[in-house]
């Protein structure tokens, strides 16, 4: 059996470069990172600070695919050109899957899925006017999978690198379970390489999916890797050693690296978000988690959670 390709899913507000780098220093099994979305910009408005998360100096650990969110074809073209000039990136992913309501309301992210003409224009412009590798990350649709059914055949005309499909509707947010029957149908509708994303929480989840969908080229792990940072190693059959010791070494290292960048309150907020997932790995009860989340002092939080 060949070794699966495992990519870290982009998780906005969580998988920042500090998290990605620390994760990679402590855990194996991940082949590639996709960075959380950044906004497209017009030429001449390149603000370095916005791009800190994908600056090459901050991303030496693994190959990184930057992700862009926007809705104007010319801004995508300007942005990928700027990022290539400034940073040397040649691969870019376009987000048409983010379901958050402010994003959708502005016809961005998953808000683009009911507008196949706009998506096609974006893809036509970026693939036609630049030489770069372009891919899309999508859901089945915003309100209905018919949106994806309409879009996928149109995308077959363009030289996309791959499509990442998270088999839920935007309206579902992260509720319910991925619709694998529609995902199977979508695999038939596209000629592009497919990367699967959604609810791989255990090795068994991965095995079930890999058996049913042998055509999938790579597997994205998001929340599953936060719940169990050893998941990629386990899927690849690697020896994980003493998990608790390794997890807490990672945790300490992450805090040390994050503190100078985010300050005390930013670090505390970030850790609180992560503990919703870490609680599952460490077996923290709901009651203990709630007690932990009520702590307002970073030092106390770290001491109680370590």
Candidates 7-15, 56-64, 246-254, 296-304: pick the segment binding ligand FMN (CB under 6 A): 7-15
Q: What single string gives the DSSP state of each residue in 140-197? A: EESS-THHHHHHHHHHTTS--S-EEEEEEEGGGTT-S---HHHHHHHHHH--S-EEEE
Nearest-CB residue for ligand FMN: 222
Cβ-contact 110, 139 below 8 angstroms: yes
One of 18, 40, 41, 67 touching ligand FMN (CB under 6 A): 67
Query: Which lies closer to ligand FMN via its Cβ, residue 106 or residue 244?
Result: 106
Could you tell me the smallest distance in angstroms from the CB atom of residue 166 to ligand FMN? 4
User: Which tokens belong to 39?
Assistant: 């906004």
CA-CA distance, 153 to 149, in Å (whole number)? Answer: 7
Could you tell me the smallest distance in angstroms from the CB atom of residue 134 to ligand FMN? 14
Binding mask 179-198 for ligand FMN (x = CB under 6 A): ------------------xx
Cβ-contact 218, 186 below 8 angstroms: no
User: Which tokens belong to 96?
Assistant: 């048409």
**Considering only residues 20-59, where is the footprint of ligand FMN by CB under 6 A?**
36-37
Could you tell me the smallest distance in angstroms from the CB atom of residue 35 to ligand FMN? 8
User: Which tokens belong to 235?
Assistant: 């899927």
Alpha helices in 43-107 (DSSP H): 73-87, 101-105
Query: Which lies closer to ligand FMN via its Cβ, residue 220 or residue 298?
Result: 220
Query: Which lies closer to ligand FMN via its Cβ, residue 174 or residue 263?
Result: 174
CA dihedral 233, 236, 237, 243 (to 10 degrees): 10
**Does residue 224 bind ligand FMN (CB under 6 A)?**
yes
Residues 6+ apart with CB under 8 A from 255: 267, 271, 302
Cβ-contact 56, 88 below 8 angstroms: yes
Binding mask 227-266 for ligand FMN (x = CB under 6 A): ----------------------------------------
Could you tell me the smallest distance in angstroms from the CB atom of residue 229 to ligand FMN? 13
Q: Could you tell me whether strands 91-96 and 218-221 are parallel, antiparallel, or unpaired per DSSP bridges?
A: unpaired
Candidates 9-17, 80-88, 227-235, 282-290: pick the segment binding ligand FMN (CB under 6 A): 9-17
**Considering only residues 105-164, where is the footprint of ligand FMN by CB under 6 A?**
137
- Give the single-character DSSP code of 164: E
Cβ-contact 152, 119 below 8 angstroms: no
Q: What residue ranges in 194-284 does DSSP mark as E strands?
A: 194-197, 218-221
Query: Which lies closer to ligand FMN via its Cβ, residue 33 or residue 247?
Result: 33
**Does residue 95 bind ligand FMN (CB under 6 A)?**
yes
Contacts to ligand FMN by CB under 6 A: 9-14, 36-37, 67, 95, 97-98, 137, 166, 174, 197-200, 221-224
């Amino acid at each position: 059996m060949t070794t699966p390709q495992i990519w870290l899913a982009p998780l906005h507000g969580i998988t920042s470069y500090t998290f990605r780098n620390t994760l990679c220093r402590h855990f194996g099994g991940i082949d590639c990172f996709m960075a959380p979305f950044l906004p497209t910009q017009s030429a001449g408005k390149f603000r370095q600070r916005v791009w800190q998360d994908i600056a090459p100096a901050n991303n030496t650990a693994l190959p990184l695919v930057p992700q862009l969110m926007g809705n104007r074809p010319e801004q995508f073209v300007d942005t990928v050109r700027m990022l290539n000039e400034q940073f040397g990136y040649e691969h870019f992913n376009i987000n048409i899957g983010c379901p958050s309501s402010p994003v959708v309301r502005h016809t961005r992210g998953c808000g683009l899925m009911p507008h196949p003409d706009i998506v096609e224009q974006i893809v036509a412009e970026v693939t036609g006017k630049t030489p770069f590798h372009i891919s899309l990350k999508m859901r089945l649709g915003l309100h209905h999978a018919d949106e994806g059914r309409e879009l996928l055949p149109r995308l077959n005309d363009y030289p996309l690198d791959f499509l990442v499909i998270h088999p839920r509707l935007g309206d579902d947010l992260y509720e319910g379970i991925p619709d694998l029957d529609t995902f199977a149908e979508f695999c038939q509708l596209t000629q592009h390489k497919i990367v699967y994303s959604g609810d791989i929480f255990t090795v068994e989840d991965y095995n079930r999916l890999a058996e049913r969908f042998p055509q999938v080229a790579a597997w994205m792990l998001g929340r599953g890797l936060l719940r169990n940072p050893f998941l990629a190693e386990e899927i690849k059959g690697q020896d994980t050693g003493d998990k608790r010791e390794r997890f807490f070494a990672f945790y300490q290292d992450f805090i040390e690296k994050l503190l100078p960048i985010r300050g005390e309150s930013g670090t505390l907020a970030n850790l609180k978000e992560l503990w919703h997932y870490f609680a599952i790995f460490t077996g923290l009860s709901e009651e203990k988690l709630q007690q932990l989340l009520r702590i307002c002092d970073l030092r106390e939080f770290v001491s109680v959670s370590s």
